Amino acid sequence: MVFRIYLWPVNVSFMKAIRLIFILLTLVMGFYSCGQKTTDIQQNEQPEMTAPADSGNTQSESPSADAETSVGHDQTFLTQKILIYTHAFGPAGPDGEPPFKDEWIDLKPDGTFTAGKKKEETHSGRWGYNEARSTLVLKPYDTKKFPMSEWEVKHNDAAIVFVGTSRFGNNAYQCQLVWSETLPE
């Protein structure tokens, strides 16, 4: 004599279908919430830069006003010399070259910068530094060719480290920079 005990008088295939629907709904909600955060960051956040009162900035483009980050500053550790990228970790460029190889950036106290590769200047723009958050925002004048970026800045007497943030999508990069009087060869 065989005794079977049924805790639920439900067909097994029905339970499998319910479990599959639950798993699919969980995955869809997870993907939607991840995608929504990224979209919000890219569409809603603009650079937080304001021009210093005494800069005499006469450009037609005016950045959005925000007291947290201002254009320039005489952050001596950022502006004392040219910054040369010595090491970088992150996705390689389209030609397979390591990121930031032979590149440099010169941050000026008036809130502008020039950047380039080897001896050639490739672009220029404006920069802002938030002392409270230790973040640097770079806004090239040609944002179609050179995207905006935000970096957490760490430094000591020997080097500066830029760690990309997710604000403009450069969070996959970490760079070590050193001060130099001359451009890289």
For residue 149, the enclosing domain spans 70-180
The number of domains in the chain is 2
Rg (CA), the chain: 25
| Whether residue 106 sits in one domain with residue 17 | no
Cα distance between residue 65 and residue 55, in whole Å: 15
Q: Is residue 12 classed exposed, middle or buried when 0-12, 13-18 and 19+ CB atoms within 10 A define those classes?
A: exposed
CATH number at residue 103: 2.40.128.270
| Whether residue 145 sits in one domain with residue 80 | yes
Whether residue 93 has pLDDT greater than 90: no
Residue 51 lies in a domain: no
Q: Evaluate whether 86 touches 160 at the Cβ level (below 8 Å).
A: no
Whether residue 66 has pLDDT greater than 50: no
pLDDT in tens, 21-65: 777 777 766 666 655 443 343 434 444 444 333 333 333 333 333
pLDDT in tens, 17-27: 777 777 777 77
pLDDT in tens, 100-127: 999 999 999 999 999 999 999 999 999 9
| Whether residue 40 sits in one domain with residue 74 | no
Closest of 156, 154, 148, 147 to residue 174, by C-alpha: 154
Cα distance between residue 85 and residue 52, in whole Å: 28
Q: Is residue 118 left, alpha or beta, with left meaning phi > 0 and alpha meaning psi from -120 to 50?
A: left
| Whether residue 75 sits in one domain with residue 40 | no
Integer CA distances (angstroms), 121 to 102, 105, 145, 179, in order: 12, 9, 14, 17
